[in-house]
């Protein structure tokens, strides 16, 4: 027996984009919150905790009840909330945290929270809460152990999860080569031109069917096969298939690391080799390596990061670039330089006041090579410190 007797499980469900909150950056309000995660019939084929009678019920509650009935003496508390709904005091009560989150944004948030807690080490030696993180993508997966403020953290490793390159619009519009191109054409171009419904609901079968039919006709026109209803739904919602065997292997790896940390029965991932990658595409392959801690990490480091820019671009182009830069991946960035605010997304009055700067180039704003800037985003409880590194003409 592992002897884990007091466990809390949080399932936050599907979230929409947060909006800035000037009073509490740790808990930004949401523009829209989808229903908390409940069990769908499609969940039954890739796990063993749910039954058909559980469809429609909260995942966290059903999983907690199943394990408590099976393992006597364990207490599991289920929370149907976002991880961001809990403060520092809540996370301080635990010995370790295991994450199986489905978004980079949520991973970055809990990582920043645990690093913040770990900075109190001198006053409280129990403030370091190991973070065990696991994730899967089809037949691929990874597990890693992070000792906050000591080893490489998730923000240090962010460039390993760079956003997928977007398909150029010209390819979608003129020379589609794959079924996904046809689906994106229906999604991005045909929908905007025809507006069959006031707004697109990606969970509404009627809306998905319309996109599927448009994409299918487009594919037939260009002699492309492979457009299906399920592919259409998966493409517009960016769904990555979940493979039961991959999930089981990564979950087992995370539990194994938790056991090693709790019992000291064997060296855990963390100090040396801290990152395990798994691939089941062609046979079964695993690789363990050490991901180095970065001195310029905005979470656990102390140095500003270089921000390579062309000084002739506009501030708008720079702000837009933060969403695709591997080292940033920020969706609603605000930026300020020493002694001046360049652009703020919120509050509305300040956004309106700084909006004219968006059309000015970096040079026109009087910014120079090597100048430090601070970037914030309402989704993360930290500031990102950069310094400009101008590209040579």
Residue 181 contacts residue 172 (beta carbons within 8 Å): yes
Catalytic residue among 153, 170, 255, 297: 170
pLDDT of residue 1: 57
Sheet holding 340-343, edge to edge: 305-309, 383-390, 372-376, 334-337, 340-343
Q: Are both 129 and 183 inside the same structural domain?
A: no
pLDDT of residue 112: 93
User: Is residue 57 situated within a structural domain?
Assistant: no
Q: Are both 133 and 266 inside the same structural domain?
A: yes
pLDDT of residue 165: 58
Q: Are both 340 and 321 inside the same structural domain?
A: yes
Q: Are both 11 and 95 inside the same structural domain?
A: yes
Is 170 marked active-site? Answer: yes
Q: Are both 107 and 15 inside the same structural domain?
A: yes
**How far apart, in whole angstroms, are the C-alpha atoms of residue 306 and residue 104?**
22
**How far apart, in whole angstroms, are the C-alpha atoms of residue 183 and residue 211?**
7
User: Is residue 49 situated within a structural domain?
Assistant: no
Q: Are both 322 and 384 inside the same structural domain?
A: yes
Domain with residue 25: its CATH number is 3.40.50.720
User: Is residue 63 situated within a structural domain?
Assistant: no
Q: Are both 86 and 208 inside the same structural domain?
A: no
User: Is residue 53 situated within a structural domain?
Assistant: no
pLDDT of residue 20: 33
Scanning the structure block, which residue is given the tokens 């062309």? 310
Q: Are both 200 and 264 inside the same structural domain?
A: no
Q: How far is CA 274 from the centre of its chain?
A: 20
Number of domains observed in the structure of the chain? 3
Tell the burial category of 163 from Cβ atoms under 10 Å away from its Cβ (0-12, 13-18, 19+).
exposed
Q: How far is CA 88 from the centre of its chain?
A: 20
pLDDT of residue 144: 96
DSSP state at residue 372: E
User: Is residue 70 situated within a structural domain?
Assistant: no
Handedness of CA 119, 125, 126, 129 (dihedral sign): positive
> In which domain, by residue range, is 214 found?
169-237
pLDDT of residue 166: 62
Residue 180 contacts residue 231 (beta carbons within 8 Å): yes
User: Is residue 315 situated within a structural domain?
Assistant: yes
pLDDT of residue 162: 66
pLDDT of residue 382: 82
Q: Are both 152 and 215 inside the same structural domain?
A: no
pLDDT of residue 278: 96
User: Is residue 44 situated within a structural domain?
Assistant: no
**How far apart, in whole angstroms, are the C-alpha atoms of residue 192 and residue 207?**
13
Scanning the structure block, which residue is given the tokens 């298939």? 241
pLDDT of residue 27: 37
**How far apart, in whole angstroms, are the C-alpha atoms of residue 180 and residue 167?**
10
Mean pLDDT by 10 residues, the chain (393 residues): 84 44 35 55 81 92 94 93 92 95 88 93 87 93 95 91 66 87 93 92 90 96 93 83 88 95 90 92 91 92 91 95 88 92 93 95 95 91 90 76
User: Is residue 23 situated within a structural domain?
Assistant: yes
Domain with residue 223: its CATH number is 1.10.10.520
Domain with residue 378: its CATH number is 3.10.290.20
Q: Are both 185 and 156 inside the same structural domain?
A: no
| Beta pairing, strands 383-390 & 305-309 | parallel
pLDDT of residue 19: 31
Handedness of CA 16, 17, 21, 27 (dihedral sign): positive
Residue 209 contacts residue 227 (beta carbons within 8 Å): no
pLDDT of residue 279: 94
């Amino acid at each position: 027996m592992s002897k884990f007797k007091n466990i809390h499980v949080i399932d936050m469900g599907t979230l929409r984009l947060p909006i800035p909150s000037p009073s509490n950056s740790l808990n930004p309000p949401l523009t829209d919150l989808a229903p908390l995660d409940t069990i769908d019939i499609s969940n039954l084929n890739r796990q063993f905790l749910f039954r058909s009678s559980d469809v429609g019920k909260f995942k966290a509650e059903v999983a907690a009840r199943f394990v408590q009935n099976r393992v006597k003496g364990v207490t599991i508390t289920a929370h149907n909330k976002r991880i961001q709904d809990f403060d520092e005091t809540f996370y301080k009560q635990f010995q370790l945290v295991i994450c199986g989150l489905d978004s980079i944004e949520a991973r970055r948030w809990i990582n920043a929270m645990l690093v913040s807690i770990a900075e109190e080490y001198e006053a409280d030696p129990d403030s370091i809460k190991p973070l065990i993180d696991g994730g899967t993508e089809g037949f691929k997966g990874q597990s890693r152990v992070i000792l906050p403020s000591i080893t490489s953290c998730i923000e240090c490793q962010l460039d390993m999860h760079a956003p997928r390159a977007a398909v150029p619009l010209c390819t979608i519009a003129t020379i589609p080569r794959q079924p996904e191109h046809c689906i994106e054409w229906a999604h991005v171009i045909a929908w905007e031109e025809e507006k069959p419904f006031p707004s697109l609901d990606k969970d509404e079968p009627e809306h998905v069917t319309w996109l599927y039919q448009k994409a299918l006709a487009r594919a037939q026109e260009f002699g492309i096969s492979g457009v299906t209803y399920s592919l259409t739904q998966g493409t517009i919602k960016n769904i990555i298939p979940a493979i039961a065997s991959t999930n089981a292997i990564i979950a087992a790896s995370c539990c194994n690391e938790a056991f090693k940390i709790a019992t000291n029965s064997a060296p855990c991932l963390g100090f040396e080799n801290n990152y395990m990658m798994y691939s089941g595409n062609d046979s079964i392959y695993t690789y363990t390596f050490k991901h180095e801690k970065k001195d310029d990490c905005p979470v656990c480091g102390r140095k500003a990061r270089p921000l390579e820019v062309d000084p002739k671009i506009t501030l708008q182009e720079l702000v837009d670039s933060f969403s695709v830069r591997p080292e940033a991946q920020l969706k609603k960035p605000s930026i300020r330089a020493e002694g001046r605010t360049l652009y703020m997304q919120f509050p509305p009055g300040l956004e309106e006041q700084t909006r004219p700067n968006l059309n000015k180039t970096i040079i026109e704003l009087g910014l120079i090579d090597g100048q430090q800037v601070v970037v914030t985003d309402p989704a993360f409880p930290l500031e990102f410190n950069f310094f400009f590194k101008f590209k040579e003409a």
